[in-house]
Amino acid sequence: MKKQITENWWNDFFAEFRPFFAHKSPKETNSEVKFYLKKLNLKKGKLFLDCPVGIGRIALPLAKKGIKITGIDIMPSYLGELSEKASKAKLSIKLFHQDMRKIDFENQFDAVGNLWTSFGYFEKDSDNMLVLKKLYKALKPGGKFVIQVINRDWIMKNFLSNNWDEVAGVKILEKREFFYDTSSCITEYLFIKDGVEKSLTSYIRMYSFHELKSMLEKVGFKNVVGYSSVKEEPISRDSREMFIFAVK
């Protein structure tokens, strides 16, 4: 039977997703942070909007560099965890519990980021476009934008219908179905922890570089450039990641 997605799937899914953050090693995160500092021209006192911010994987190290962070997320538990870590480190981070489609900032930030495949969560293409419009609006004129997502062209070459994963003591079975009519992937996850099973579903609209570039330009962004790594290698069907930068 064709897989179906539940409405607002992210609420249940991200409640169980917390162990997945362990997939990003401190080394990988550090090199990403350095890359964003350089490419977004982030210096002490600059204003950065991290949407969605998660548990502050990127936001916390940036705040430690003196960047003024505003973070948005739909998961109250992630925001709670981040707020606790920030206050322990005596860092001031502004956090908002909000759906990324509903943010309402205008000409406020020097840079804006949507990081680690946090885009394409909505079944309606117009909703995904709305996120880009809101992020664009939040930037000051001349402000810099980065979006980091999985490359659809890589997915097409390496698509796996099923695989097992294990992270932080949780065994995870992932069963995927790709829909060519909408370029979307619905994944059913079976999380098994201490013998207890929980099943969840995610939806991601997948984008190739050229499609995201054209969407960003439609929204008004200029100078759109994409890399497959923090070493600024070009995007190809062999690159899993895309780091796309643009300017308002």
Q: Which residues bind ligand SAM (CB under 6 A)?
A: 10, 14, 52-54, 57-58, 72-75, 78, 99-100, 115-118, 121
Nearer to ligand SAM, 59 or 216 (CB): 59
Classify residue 229 by its DSSP letter: S
Whole-number minimum distance, CB 170 to ligand SAM, in Å?
A: 16
Nearer to ligand SAM, 89 or 217 (CB): 89
Whole-number minimum distance, CB 92 to ligand SAM, in Å?
A: 19
In the chain, helix, strand, coil percent, each to 5? 35, 35, 35
Q: Select from 38, 240, 19, 47 the least CA-distant residue to 148.
A: 240
**CA atoms within 13 Å, Cβ hemisphere of 56:** 27
Whole-number minimum distance, CB 50 to ligand SAM, in Å?
A: 6
Report whether the peptide linkage leading into residue 52 is cis, meaning its omega lies within 30 degrees of zero: yes
Collapsing DSSP to helix, strand or coil, 180 comes out as: coil
CA distance 145 to 114: 8
Nearer to ligand SAM, 2 or 27 (CB): 27
Nearer to ligand SAM, 3 or 18 (CB): 18
Nearer to ligand SAM, 84 or 217 (CB): 84
Whole-number minimum distance, CB 113 to ligand SAM, in Å?
A: 7
E strand spans, 68-115? 68-73, 94-97, 109-114
Nearer to ligand SAM, 48 or 121 (CB): 121
Whole-number minimum distance, CB 131 to ligand SAM, in Å?
A: 8
Whole-number minimum distance, CB 18 to ligand SAM, in Å?
A: 9
Q: Select from 174, 156, 153 the least CA-distant residue to 165.
A: 174
CA distance 233 to 225: 11
Q: Select from 123, 79, 114 the least CA-distant residue to 98.
A: 79
Q: Select from 189, 185, 157 the least CA-distant residue to 175.
A: 189
Whole-number minimum distance, CB 155 to ligand SAM, in Å?
A: 16
